[in-house]
């Protein structure tokens, strides 16, 4: 039976595609802290600002492409004989554009909307703004980005927890380890017996919980790691 692999990705994997990270030197959006635009309270206080933030990021998706790290993970997903689960904190669609299939967006997706009037979730392209019409119930101004904000429950936690408990190998790629519950996945996986590896530009906040740390750019480290894994399976 082949090993079961869980991979957590964060903003650092998309950095080499030109998507800005949250924390770090270019981690601010026009002077706003991410906490000021990514909370339900911020949305209630200033929906125009919050929509402008997400509209700009959704617009940016059309200008970026998956990089070698996304492609390598899609190859691992396609070729690995055991279980693979890619859990991304990213709200971009670069993993799926590279061809990844066993993928969960635990913090939601830029290309989806959520209607607060009818609770419907649907694909969304282009600007949303604060006067958007829900495609299911036609309510006006009730559509928000289907993004998990601070203080909200990430998606698919039961499935993720179950995969972490069964994992033989846990890899964390391009995430600062600043935001829970994702930052705690390494401890769950390790406690349940997985080998743990991080690939990041710098040590993450939970670096001590990893058996192995590889420092550098995801677009270089991840393809080499995937080659190594697939070669180990002959």
Q: Catalytic site residues? A: 107
Query: Can you say how many angstroms the Cα of residue 74 is from the centroid of all Cα atoms in its chain?
Result: 14
Give the long-range contacts of residues 22-26, CB within 8 A, separation 24 or more. Answer: 22/176, 23/176, 23/178, 24/176
Whichever of 77 and 92 has its CB closer to ligand APR, that residue is: 92
Interface with ligand APR in residues 78-97 (CB under 6 A): 89
Interface with ligand APR in residues 29-58 (CB under 6 A): 34, 38
Quick one: which of 21, 142, 188, 196 contacts ligand APR (CB under 6 A)? 21
Quick one: which of 8, 15, 52, 115 contacts ligand APR (CB under 6 A)? 15
Instruction: State how far the Cα of 168 lies from the Cα of 190, in Å rounded to an integer.
Output: 9
Instruction: State how far the Cα of 165 lies from the Cα of 84, in Å rounded to an integer.
Output: 13
The residue among 121, 92, 111, 112 whose CA lies nearest residue 16 is 92
* By CB under 6 A, residue 107 contacts ligand APR: yes
Q: Do 67 and 16 form a contact (C-beta atoms < 8 A)?
A: yes
Q: Do 197 and 172 form a contact (C-beta atoms < 8 A)?
A: yes
DSSP-derived 3-state class of residue 71: helix
Quick one: which of 61, 204, 206, 225 contacts ligand APR (CB under 6 A)? 204
Interface region with ligand APR, contact rule CB under 6 A, candidates 75-83, 94-102, 158-166, 171-179: 171-179
* By CB under 6 A, residue 218 contacts ligand APR: yes
Total residues interacting with ligand APR, rule: CB under 6 A: 25
Whichever of 175 and 188 has its CB closer to ligand APR, that residue is: 175
* By CB under 6 A, residue 113 contacts ligand APR: no
Quick one: which of 117, 118, 201, 230 contacts ligand APR (CB under 6 A)? 201
């Amino acid at each position: 039976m082949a090993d079961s692999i869980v991979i957590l990705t964060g903003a650092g994997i998309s950095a080499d595609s030109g998507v800005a990270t949250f924390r770090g030197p270019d981690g601010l959006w026009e002077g706003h802290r991410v906490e000021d635009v990514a909370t339900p309270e911020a949305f209630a206080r200033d929906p125009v600002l919050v929509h402008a933030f997400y509209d700009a990021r959704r617009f940016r998706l059309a200008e970026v492409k998956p990089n070698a790290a996304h492609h390598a993970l899609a190859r691992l997903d396609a070729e690995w004989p055991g279980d693979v689960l890619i859990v991304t904190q990213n709200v971009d669609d670069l993993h799926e554009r590279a061809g990844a299939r066993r993928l969960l967006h635990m913090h939601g997706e830029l290309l989806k909307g959520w209607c607060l009037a009818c609770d419907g979730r649907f694909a969304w392209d282009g600007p949303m703004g604060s006067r958007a019409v829900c495609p299911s119930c036609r309510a006006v101004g009730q559509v928000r980005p289907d993004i998990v904000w601070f203080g909200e429950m990430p998606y698919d936690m039961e499935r993720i927890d179950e995969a972490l408990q069964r994992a033989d190998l846990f890899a964390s790629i391009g995430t600062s380890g600043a935001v829970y519950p994702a930052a705690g996945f390494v401890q769950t996986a390790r406690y349940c017996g997985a080998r743990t590896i991080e690939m990041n530009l710098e040590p993450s906040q939970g670096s001590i919980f990893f058996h192995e740390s590889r420092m550098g750019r995801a677009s270089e480290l991840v393809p080499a790691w995937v080659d190594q894994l697939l070669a180990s399976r002959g």
